[in-house]
Each structure stands twice: as C-alpha cells, then as structure tokens.
Amino acid sequence: MAVVLTKDSKVVVQGATGHQGTFHIGAMKTFGTNVVAGVTPGKGGQSVHDIPVFDSVQEAVKETGADVSLVFVPAPFAKDAVLEAVDAGVKTVIVITEHIPVHDAMDFVNYAKAKGVTLIGPNCPGAASPGENIKVGILPGMIFEPGPIGIASKSGTLTYEIVNALTEAGIGQTTCLGLGGDPCQGTNFIEALELFQADDETKGIVLVGEIGGTAEEEAAEYIASGKVTKPVYAYIAGRTAPEGKKMGHAGAIVQGDKGTAESKQKAFEAAGVKVAKFPTDIAQFVKADLGSA
C-alpha cells in the first residue's frame, strides 16, 4: 500500500485550464495518475488532455466520483476552492498554491480537519506514491521508484534531491508527502508519522524539516514516546539562517531563540533520529540500515 494516495484515487484538478493546471494534468497522466476531471468556473464543457472540465467541484464529483482534489487556484481564491472541495465530499485536498493569506489557510485547514478531510499543503509540491503509479501535484515523476521509504517534507526541491539520491542508491519510496513551507499546514510531521507508522509497506521514514515553528520538536517528542517504531531519518535546512528573516518560505523563520535548526536537531537526536549534515547523506544512512531495496 501507500499513504494518502493509492491507485484507486480519482483526481479532480481545480484551476485546470491555467498554464500550471494544463501542464501538470499532462505530467500526472504520464505518471499514471487517474485524473478524472478538471474544474474551472465558467469553462465547464471544455477539456484538458481529454479530461472533462466542469464548472464546479460538486458537479465533477457527481459525474466522475473524484475523491482527491488538487488545487492550483490563485491565492486570493484558494480558500473558496478548498471549502468548495470539502463540501463537495472529496476525501483529500492537496493545495499547491503559495502565498495564501495565513488566516485563509487556518480557516480551510480547520474546516477540512473538522470534516474528516485530509489536507496536504498549502504551498507544497503535492504527493506521490510511485508503487501505486500516482502523483498529485508538481513533483517531477522521474525521480521516484517504488520501495520501502516514506518521506514527509516542508520543502520541494530539497526533497527531490533527497528522493533522487535514494532512488540512485537503489532505495525506493512508498509515498512522498510534500507538507509545505507555510506556518499553517494541513498535515504536519506528527500526522505524517502516524500515517507511515500504520502503513505496512513503509519500513523507514525520512523527515525533511527546516527552521521555523516547533513541528520538528513535536515530531521528535512523538517519536520518543514510542508511537513510532520504524527508523526515522531527518534533514533540517537553515542551520545558518539569521534570526528574524523569512528564508523563502513563509514559515521558515527563526524568531528570537525559537525555531532554530539546532533545537530541532537536538530534539531529533534525543529521540534516536539520525540527522544528516548534507541532504544526500540521507540515502547513505538508509542504505546502511536497510540495504538496497
């Protein structure tokens, strides 16, 4: 199996007819993703890469049975799009859009959670389960291989590096979850750990963290509590970031002495998590523990 996305997932893309939507519908189809519908208000009846476009998610779900929504809608309208998806009854919403007002994100993250909907993002690259032939989002398909490692990450490209290194080392992945670099995440490290711990196929877990907030420290505490029995590896970006600066991600900021890479690294190490100095070291750690897949 895998987590969040499986081969049975049916994907609807909100913001289907824009540049990004169109491109990634093609890329996802190539990867094997079952994209069943697009949504762009006012463009119902059109199609993108032979996928029918609807005016509303409600209609798309009714007509195609879509249960995963991918949101490319521009930031000012993203909250509306997510609420629409949740009310339309999808089970998972993945929000790629960046620069969403943080109060909008809080609103839709809490609403989705309250309605039992798994929300990934915002400001994330999406997710991929290579063994299930599905990726939903903007992750590059060619870096993935099926295998035993689950990855949860706050960062896009950095994760591609790490996944690519794993694949080059012969170690494949169950699911890669891009959690996003915003302060308010739909799914955080602890929730990702829960998912991967419960997934039989996942044998080891990689967390890619960064400065800002305390999600890494909380994940470490969760691991230390014994709720995670699988080996966990981590990389933390931003060891040299100065205090008070947002390092590219809205969430990547050291405030006073809070949110430092040092604190995160210490917490992880105390919980028995191996922390890598360079991103690609992760692959060596995993290989040493698990052997090649």
Partner 1 sequence: MKLLEYQGKQLFRDAGIPIPKGAYLPSLDTFDTIKDRLSYPAVVKAQVLIGGRGKAGGIQFADNDAEAKAQAKKIIGMDIKGHEVKSVYIEEKLDIDRELYVSCLIDRTTRKTLMLFSAEGGIEIESVPEDKIAKVYIDPLTGFSQFHARQALAVLPDGYSKDERKQLAKMLGQLYDAFRSFDCELLEINPLAITKDGQVIAADSKAIINDAAKFRQKKFEEEASEYTELEKEANAQGIAFIQLDGTIGVIANGAGLTMATLDALNEYGGNAGVFLDLGGTDDPDQVARAMRLMKKAKPSLILVNLFGGITKCDTVAKGIREVFEKEGLDCPVVTRIKGTNEKEAKEILKDAGFITTNTLQDAAKKCSELEKQQIKEVA
Query: Is 142 in a helix, a strand, or coil?
Result: helix
Which of 45, 244, 288, 291 is close enough to bind partner 1 by CB under 8 A?
A: 244
- Of the pair 114, 288, the CB lying nearest partner 1 is at 114
32 sits near partner 1 (criterion: CB under 8 A): no
Look up residue 249 and give its DSSP letter. S
Clarify whether 103 is annotated catalytic: no
Are 127 and 4 spatial neighbours (Cβ–Cβ below 8 Å)?
yes
Per-residue contact track with partner 1, 164 to 203, x per CB under 8 A?
x----------------x-xxx------------------
- In the complex, least distance from residue 278 CB atom to partner 1, rounded to whole angstroms: 6
Which of 5, 228, 237, 282 is close enough to bind partner 1 by CB under 8 A?
A: 237
Residue 237: both structure tokens together: 């970006």
- In the complex, least distance from residue 21 CB atom to partner 1, rounded to whole angstroms: 13
Which of 26, 41, 89, 148 is close enough to bind partner 1 by CB under 8 A?
A: 41
Q: Which of 49, 99, 103, 249 is catalytic?
A: 249
Q: Which of 119, 153, 238 is nearest to 139 (CA)?
A: 153
Considering only residues 60 to 119 of the shown chain, the ones binding partner 1 according to CB under 8 A are 75-77, 79-81, 83-84, 87, 99-104, 106-107, 109-111, 113-114
For helices 215-222 and 189-198, give the axis angle rounded to 10 degrees. Answer: 30
- In the complex, least distance from residue 128 CB atom to partner 1, rounded to whole angstroms: 11
- Of the pair 125, 199, the CB lying nearest partner 1 is at 125
Q: For residue 126, what are the contacts with CB-CB under 8 A and spacing of at least 6? A: 70, 94, 96, 120, 135, 136, 137, 138, 139, 178
- In the complex, least distance from residue 174 CB atom to partner 1, rounded to whole angstroms: 19
Q: For residue 291, what are the contacts with CB-CB under 8 A and spacing of at least 6? A: none
Are 163 and 174 spatial neighbours (Cβ–Cβ below 8 Å)?
no
Residue 131: both structure tokens together: 């063994």
161 sits near partner 1 (criterion: CB under 8 A): yes
Q: Point out the residues that are catalytic.
A: 249
